[in-house]
Structure 1
């Protein structure tokens, strides 16, 4: 149960920020995936409305970051905003960005892992990972872990659970579990428990000529976001850091800019209510701010309320297996063992 049972799909992030102003004022907040036409910008504007000490915006494209900073400066001129270039598909870029962030602040109260991609053709990260998995999960995994010292510093100075890691997932996680036998989507045979939902709904079943299905790879990456959060939640609760994940709702953003029109039409058939950007960031704000979450065992939120993810996204064995695989991929262990 959250503090406000009246919150729903139409609640805005601006409203949530106003309700929880005390949890924003004077704090240091980092948001990834910030661009003018995305929910990252709405998230930033909502936080900026309630006087944080420092707002760090991180994304791939500097001009887009500057455009959002200009919006914030116009509406909330007293809010300090710093920009960091971050490409979550590149482990080198991630490490450079964390170095910049550490120069800006020694503590981080709230981390919002908002950035994501949804590749519709087979692409690879500089490290040779399938782009969607490599960005949406491995990039987030590495970035978050490298920032843990700053999060733990903040937690040592705050009430338990006030320091938060919020990672955006999607209802799309129901499309696929983690394909441990073929996480790079190379066409290898996988056991039934690792295979995607069959049949896939409508246009979601479309593949490229080489067999790549962007909706399945996206679903896998969003399941990974939830399992990653589950592992963090279990390992960090005793250290004063909360971790939550969520489905933001259906929103028209640049995430779907490369999608086939038939896939866009499929979304419209499946979801009648499309949120505004401000409504689309509301559940993120609840996950980041609501003190009532400290008293729950909840993991996943939808429309500003607690919900249950699909069964394969709350499997603690899979969460630990994914963590170990991710450490192997990035070549670094992060020591969160009990």
Structure 2
């Protein structure tokens, strides 16, 4: 388990150990909004693990109205939710291919439907963008996550690795703590209807361990079932352009693994 907040990670590890009676749970530090941190984490994994069976991209933030840049010149929400996972997938693809049945699981959201994405991809690193809608960056990141998953699945055809994404439901987690005032006041009553983290994890767990999805790749799941996607997010031409643009933004080199 990799996490940016090690205190939270330790609490989660202890809870899982107590419930599962499994002492073999290791936590490691990674800040997926930092390309340097992603590379350091990936090197640590490659140095210690020959095979990776499952890679779950679950890190996520939901900023308010305003964006902010990272040290790499990437917009923070996009870096955390998309660019970091994009880079990490490339860096760990070889040990995933060594698995008998490797799986890549991307936790997205049905809010992808509300993202504004131009065909020229001019807003995939929106450093100078403002919207009255407080989670516009979150929506955009979820849109490109799905595009990435489908393009990834096509590129992995012929290997033993699958890639799928999912909508976990609207979960009552800390991701919503950055919703700005006064929207936050309206948001509080709505949170009472949110799923618990345990309920929200069901589809992720299903895609991680179920034999029913061994041969399924490039799909979007909701409530443990394949769900139809908006046609906009399935545009193969834009998916290919997004992939190429992302490679440049995360600074992949000739020495890095290609997918």
TM-based fold match above 0.5: yes
Which runs of 4 or more aligned residues in structure 1 lie more than 6 Å from their structure 2 counterparts after TM superposition? none
Asked whether the equivalents of residues 298 and 306 of structure 1 are also in contact (C-alpha less than 8 Å), the reply is no
State the Cα distance separating 1:178 from its structure 2 match.
Answer: 3.3
Deviations 1:21-40, CA, capped at 9 Å, x for gaps = xxxxxxxxxxxxxxxxxxxx
Residue correspondence of structure 1 range 182-193 to structure 2 within 5 A: 182-187=123-128
User: Which whole-Å CA distance do the structure 1 matches of 2:156 and 2:217 have between them?
Assistant: 13
Equivalent residue number for residue 231 of structure 1:
151
- Say which SS state the counterpart of residue 244 (structure 1) adopts: strand
Can you give the 5+ residue segments of structure 2 that lack an aligned partner in the other structure? none
Per the normalisation by structure 2, the TM-score is 0.89
Say yes or no: does 1:309 pair with 2:229.
yes
Say yes or no: does 1:299 pair with 2:219.
yes
Change (3 A) 1:254 1:69: same
User: Which whole-Å CA distance do the structure 2 matches of 1:323 and 1:298 have between them?
Assistant: 15
Equivalent residue number for residue 65 of structure 1:
9
Equivalent residue number for residue 23 of structure 1:
none
Per the normalisation by structure 1, the TM-score is 0.69
Change (3 A) 1:299 1:89: same
Asked whether the equivalents of residues 117 and 136 of structure 1 are also in contact (C-alpha less than 8 Å), the reply is yes
Equivalent residue number for residue 278 of structure 1:
198
- Say which SS state the counterpart of residue 122 (structure 1) adopts: coil
Say yes or no: does 1:335 pair with 2:255.
no
Deviations 1:162-186, CA, capped at 9 Å, x for gaps = 3100011001101114341122324
- Say which SS state the counterpart of residue 138 (structure 2) adopts: helix
- Say which SS state the counterpart of residue 82 (structure 1) adopts: coil
Change (3 A) 1:186 1:115: closer
Higher gyration radius (CA): 1
- Say which SS state the counterpart of residue 81 (structure 1) adopts: coil
Change (3 A) 1:128 1:187: closer
- Say which SS state the counterpart of residue 117 (structure 2) adopts: coil
Equivalent residue number for residue 166 of structure 1:
105
Asked whether the equivalents of residues 153 and 162 of structure 2 are also in contact (C-alpha less than 8 Å), the reply is yes
User: Which whole-Å CA distance do the structure 1 matches of 2:26 and 2:217 have between them?
Assistant: 34
